[in-house]
Amino acid sequence: MEIKVGFEIAYAAPQPTPMVIMLAIHPSRRRDIIGAETIVADPDVPIHYYRDSFGNICGRLVAPAGGVTLRGRALVRDSGLPDVVTENAGQLPIERLPDDVLIYLMPSRYCETDKLADLAWSLFGNTKPGWARVMAICQYVHDRITFGYAHAHHMKSAFDAHEQRAGVCRDFAHLALTLCRCMGIPARYCTGYLGDIGIPPEPMPMDFSGWFEAYLSGEWYTFDARHVAPRIGRILMATGRDAADVALSTSFGRMNLAKFFVISDEVKAA
């Protein structure tokens, strides 16, 4: 399967403004890109790329006065298979976890394990450790939260989403991964492309998606508390402790979003 992905995002700025962007496809999927991924700025300002501490590809630029439009596109080869399901994947004792995985047990900006630990143990303490426990958490979050773009707020945390019972995909991911951490399962936030492939098209405009990965039996596995069912065509862009680590853009000065357009479509054979 081949998937065409891309975006056009415009920002208005009253004065030259430094930015960090995280819009490139993740290094783990670079080998799947057919040809080359292109990301350009209009006006044509230089973009300097580097890897952050989580291994994500970041770009630095200075948006000129008036603003900047960022455009990206890529053709990505994909297996066409749904997310991997490994029901016998087990939960590792914390003392056996690799050093670099321990950070994904800790609280982070949007994931307050201290506020949700008692709830997590009361709900999932008797579930089978491992895959079944993560799926029980996903189902709980799926049933607890109502999805809607009107419920989006950049400051909403996992605890807030649980109490308000409404949110967007990042809130589903934040709450589920926080409950996993409370139960001793390392979990990290993911962002990327997820088009309507293999499902009926959704009427809402395409957006980037948020999901999470849990560390079981020595591997990272994909989970999605919003959709629960495995999905086809997921293309990872970045991972981190929570959404604060994978922001699409960070501006060091005043900027306003003027346009936001995303595509992720299967390329049908001629």
For residue 138, give Cα distances in angstroms to 75, 222, 228. 31, 11, 7
pLDDT exceeds cutoff 80 at 269: no
The SS3 assignment for 177 reads: helix
pLDDT exceeds cutoff 70 at 129: yes
Look at residue 103 in the predicted model and tell me its pLDDT: 98
CATH classification of the domain holding 58: 2.60.40.2250
Residue 67 placed within a domain: yes
CB 205 within 8 A of CB 195: no
In this structure, the answer to whether residues 233 and 255 fall within a common structural domain is no
In this structure, the answer to whether residues 20 and 69 fall within a common structural domain is yes
In this structure, the answer to whether residues 24 and 106 fall within a common structural domain is no
Residue 87 placed within a domain: no
pLDDT exceeds cutoff 70 at 67: yes
Boundaries of domain holding 170: 94-241
The residue behind tokens 């960022």 is 70
pLDDT tens by residue, 210-222: 999 999 999 999 9
In this structure, the answer to whether residues 101 and 223 fall within a common structural domain is yes
- Please count the CA atoms within 13 angstroms of the CA of 99 that sit on its side-chain side: 0
Closest CA to 190 of 220, 211, 209: 211
Look at residue 270 in the predicted model and tell me its pLDDT: 66
In this structure, the answer to whether residues 68 and 106 fall within a common structural domain is no
Task: Work out the average pLDDT over 184-195.
Answer: 98
Give all strands of the β-sheet with 68-77 in edge-to-edge order: 33-42, 68-77, 2-12, 256-266
Residue 224 placed within a domain: yes
Run of H or E including 172:
helix 169-182
Residue 86 placed within a domain: no
Q: How many domains does the chain have?
A: 2
Residue 213 placed within a domain: yes
| Distance, CA of 197 to CA of 265 (rounded, Å) | 7
Look at residue 202 in the predicted model and tell me its pLDDT: 83
Look at residue 66 in the predicted model and tell me its pLDDT: 97
pLDDT tens by residue, 179-189: 999 999 999 99
Q: The whole model's pTM is what?
A: 0.96
In this structure, the answer to whether residues 258 and 153 fall within a common structural domain is no
Region class of 66: left (phi > 0), else alpha (psi between -120 and 50), else beta: left
Task: Work out the average pLDDT over 102-125.
Answer: 98
In this structure, the answer to whether residues 107 and 213 fall within a common structural domain is yes
At 204, is the pLDDT very low, low, confident or very high (cuts 50, 70, 90)? confident
Residue 89 placed within a domain: no
CATH classification of the domain holding 118: 3.10.620.30
In this structure, the answer to whether residues 149 and 213 fall within a common structural domain is yes
